[in-house]
Chains A and B, each alone.
Chain A
């Protein structure tokens, strides 16, 4: 095997943690959204690494589904961001507090 599975899983763990921190520290909704994409990709990486380790292709099919869901999520999420920007003229997560979140 060219790349040990643990190395790929470690990279995946680091990328996931960076994504979590991105959601926590940034206030721009679009950047928070990009950090979520980062987390999805980290999970994709661990799926691919474990699929390679097991020698079965199932994990790669799951990555295919994750990509589809990410595309749908990006389309709907960005539409929501545009709609809320049109009403409130801001993409700052602190100012979008209508639900007292």
Chain B
């Protein structure tokens, strides 16, 4: 039952991801990306990562995608013109062929990955307590570093997005 559900979710996720890449209108691309992220959150629940699934919906599908949509609408972007020309078409076909090759190779790399896999996860696996326990013991130094990273990102975003001031010197 779970395996069948996963296959359905995988097909829907791939369709949504292709829509992100193929749709000429950036707003609809962004909405397709939101769909992809929601479907991936369900896949995370199937893989017993409940905490990560919740974070995926709140942080990714919520905060980050709102930022994307806000910028798209702020810039008032229209649909891309379909690009013409023989050279463009050849390059696009090459990109798709290369992408298909990459997908096949990466998928082949994963053969035999489940040799030493455990069939049942320990109790409480993937919940907030288990993740937090690991986060605040083994990974506490990287956790503190991310706070500095976020501070730098906030300062950087404010500096970059403010109106340019003319330099007064020289």
Q: Which residues of A contact B (CB under 8 A)?
A: 1-22, 24-28, 30-31, 33-35, 37-38, 41, 44-45, 48-55, 57-58, 60-61, 63-65, 67-76, 78-83, 85-86, 91
Contacts and interface: CB of A to CB of B under 8 A. Distances in A.
Interface residues of B, number: 85
Interface in B136-158: 138-139, 142-143, 146, 149-150, 152-154, 156-158
Contacts of B95: 21, 24-25
Contact of A76 (B33, B64, B110, B160): B160
Contact of A68 (B43, B134, B146, B157): B146
Contacts of B109: 13
24 contacts: A6-B110, A10-B107, A14-B17, A16-B102, A17-B102, A21-B98, A28-B80, A35-B21, A38-B33, A41-B36, A44-B52, A45-B40, A48-B44, A52-B49, A55-B117, A55-B125, A58-B138, A60-B134, A63-B52, A67-B59, A71-B59, A78-B157, A79-B156, A82-B71
B114 A53 contact: yes
A12 B80 CA distance: 28
Given A2-B6, A2-B46, A48-B44, A67 B157 contact: no
A34 B30 contact: yes
Contacts of A12: 106
B151 to A, nearest CB: 9
Contact of B77 (A9, A83, A91): A91
Contacts of A75: 67, 153-154, 156-157
Interface of B: 2-3, 6-7, 10, 13-14, 17-18, 20-21, 26, 29-30, 33, 36-37, 40, 43-44, 46-49, 51-52, 55-56, 59-60, 63-64, 67-68, 71-72, 74-75, 77, 80, 83, 92, 95-96, 98-100, 102-103, 106-107, 109-111, 113-114, 117-122, 125-126, 130-131, 133-135, 138-139, 142-143, 146, 149-150, 152-154, 156-158, 160-161, 164
Given A4-B114, A15-B13, A55-B122, A64 B52 contact: yes
Given A34-B68, A52-B121, A70-B64, 20 more contacts: A2-B6, A10-B107, A13-B107, A18-B103, A22-B20, A25-B96, A26-B21, A34-B29, A45-B44, A57-B131, A57-B133, A60-B51, A65-B143, A71-B59, A72-B149, A72-B153, A73-B153, A76-B153, A82-B71, A82-B74
